[in-house]
């Protein structure tokens, strides 16, 4: 998880049934290292008590504009000025309407109009309210004013209806806070990321694969999206949730991955191939399950296409980033691939290490560039490796 140590986050809670989820949100932000301050509307207190959120945040909850205690230091201005980012979750249709028209009739709306910190709104309401043109017009007005909107999820709603209107999940809300605090230096840039293994079928029930879990690629996709990129994540068969703000394309075999990457490639500016693409596939796939018999089994293998080599003639002005998972002569093999495939960056790592290979949350890599440039990154969480790699991509685009 990309950490939030020392960041002051103001969580606004307005009066909808989803207010009870604010407890999980406040706890998640605190676990990520944030200093959390909560401000509640009067109606929000009908759904969850200030004491609950005070216990989880470790700070008194702000509730009243006209309180001798809370306003002794002009509290609403102190809250507005003290926040690095503001997240309102849930944001009701009523609060959205008031904010869109500049009304400040309670503590939370007063703070929202006074703050200069980035603001994210997480709407939650009945599906028909969400679809109402007036609500959508208000949200668009707030977007134009520079506020972020965390789209609600679809599903069963507390009112008994099914549709869009559920508060986004906690990870998406925390990610919205991270994005508020991250420079949007990839805004509008289309990035294609591949991740995970391939499965090459032997028969209807067996396949050849490798140990990749996709964690590194998913971290890169999340880091790029956090900085404003439009990310298409071409994922092999992995058991990972899609990062917030990322569009995911699921594939199986190496040839399926090539087709998906080619489809996303044309309008892209950056291609990051973290996937452990299968080099070989069975030459013939049995129609029926191969039965066990005496003796061994020989499977003839044939080469799969090399995705980066296939796309290299169409590279143009795009940035190409590759990953080299090696077990010996790591840097020599990575440098050879960097030159042979015409890459801008190659990320090399020794997957024989127990703490930096597949199926772990940490990595230690060397980032190689053209003209002998080299940077060694020590062992660190894969999220941090991804952030460092995206830093290099941004620097190359500026250059």
- The structural domains of the chain, with segments of one domain joined by +, span 8-180, 190-289+296-398
Buried (b) or exposed (e) across 61-73, using 16+ Cβ within 10 A?
bbbebeeeebbee
What was the pLDDT predicted at 157? Answer: 83
Phi, psi of 235 (to 5 degrees): -115, 130
Instruction: Answer whether residue 252 shows pLDDT above 70.
Output: yes
Which token pair is 259? 């087709």
**Residue 156's beta-bridge partner residues?**
162
Instruction: Answer whether residue 1 shows pLDDT above 80.
Output: no
User: For a pLDDT cut of 70, what percent of the chain falls above it?
Assistant: 97
Q: Output the average pLDDT for the chain.
A: 93
Q: Give, in words, the CATH class of 190-289+296-398.
A: alpha beta
| Closest C-alpha to 156, from 196, 126, 192 | 126
Instruction: Answer whether residue 74 shows pLDDT above 60.
Output: no
Question: 294 or 286: which carries more pLDDT confidence?
Answer: 286
Run of H or E residues at 354 = none
CA distance 382 to 220: 9
CA distance 378 to 25: 32
Chain position carrying tokens 């949350």: 361
CA terminus-to-terminus distance, the chain? 29
pTM of the model: 0.89
> Mean pLDDT lowest for which of 25-39, 271-285, 352-366?
352-366
Confidence tier at 73 by pLDDT (50, 70, 90): low
Mean pLDDT (whole number) for 333-348: 94
Mean pLDDT (whole number) for 358-366: 94
> Mean pLDDT lowest for which of 16-25, 159-168, 218-227?
159-168
Longest dimension (CA), the chain: 87
What was the pLDDT predicted at 51? Answer: 96
Q: What is the number of other CB atoms lying within 10 angstroms of the CB of residue 183?
A: 10
8-180 against 190-289+296-398: fold identical: yes
DSSP strand E in 112-161: where? Answer: 119-123, 148-149, 153-156
Instruction: Answer whether residue 68 shows pLDDT above 70.
Output: no
CA distance 90 to 152: 10
Instruction: Answer whether residue 332 shows pLDDT above 80.
Output: yes
11-59 confidence digits (pLDDT tens): 999 999 999 999 999 999 999 999 999 999 999 999 999 999 999 999 9
Catalytic residues: 159
Phi, psi of 166 (to 5 degrees): -75, 145
Instruction: Answer whether residue 271 shows pLDDT above 60.
Output: yes
- 8-180: which CATH architecture? 3-Layer(aba) Sandwich (3.40)
What was the pLDDT predicted at 66? Answer: 59
Mean pLDDT (whole number) for 125-150: 97
3-state DSSP assignment of residue 174? helix
CA distance 172 to 24: 12
CA distance 199 to 184: 36
Instruction: Answer whether residue 151 shows pLDDT above 70.
Output: yes
Confidence tier at 2 by pLDDT (50, 70, 90): low
3-state DSSP assignment of residue 326? strand
């Amino acid at each position: 998880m990309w950490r939030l140590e020392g960041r002051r986050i103001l969580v606004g809670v307005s009066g909808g049934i989803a207010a009870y989820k604010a407890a999980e949100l406040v706890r998640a932000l605190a676990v990520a290292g944030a200093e959390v301050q909560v401000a509640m509307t009067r109606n929000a207190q009908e759904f969850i008590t200030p004491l609950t959120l005070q216990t989880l945040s470790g700070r008194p909850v702000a509730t009243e504009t006209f309180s001798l205690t809370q306003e002794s230091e002009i509290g609403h201005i102190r809250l507005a000025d003290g926040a690095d980012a503001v997240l309102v979750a849930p944001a009701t249709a009523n609060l959205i309407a008031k904010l869109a028209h500049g009304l400040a009739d309670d503590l939370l709306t007063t703070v929202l109009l006074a703050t200069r910190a980035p603001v994210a709104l997480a709407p939650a309401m009945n599906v028909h309210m969400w679809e109402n043109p007036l609500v959508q017009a208000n949200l668009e007005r707030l977007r134009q004013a520079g506020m972020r909107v965390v789209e609600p999820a679809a599903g069963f709603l507390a009112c008994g209806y099914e549709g869009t209107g559920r508060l986004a999940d906690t990870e998406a809300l925390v990610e919205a806070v991270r994005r508020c605090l991250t420079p949007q230096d990839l805004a509008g840039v289309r990035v294609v990321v591949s991740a995970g293994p391939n499965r090459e079928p032997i028969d209807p029930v067996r396949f050849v694969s490798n140990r990749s879990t996709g964690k590194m690629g998913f971290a890169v996709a999340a880091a790029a999206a956090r900085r404003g990129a439009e990310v298409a994540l071409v994922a092999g068969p992995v058991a990972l949730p899609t990062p917030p703000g990322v569009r995911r394309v699921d594939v199986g075999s190496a040839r399926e991955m090539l087709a998906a990457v080619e489809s996303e490639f044309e309008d892209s500016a950056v291609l990051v191939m973290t996937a452990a693409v299968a080099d070989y596939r069975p030459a013939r796939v049995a129609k029926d399950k191969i039965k066990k018999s005496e003796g061994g089994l020989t499977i003839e293998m044939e080469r799969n296409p090399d995705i980066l080599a296939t796309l290299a003639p169409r590279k143009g002005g795009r940035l190409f980033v590759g990953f080299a998972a090696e077990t010996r002569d790591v840097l020599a093999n990575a440098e050879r691939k960097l030159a042979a495939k015409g890459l801008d960056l190659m990320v090399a790592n020794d997957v024989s290490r127990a703490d930096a290979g597949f199926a772990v949350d940490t990595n230690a890599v060397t980032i190689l560039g053209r003209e002998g440039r080299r940077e060694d990154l020590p062992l660190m969480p894969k999220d941090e490796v991804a952030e460092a790699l995206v830093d290099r991509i941004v620097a190359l685009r500026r250059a």
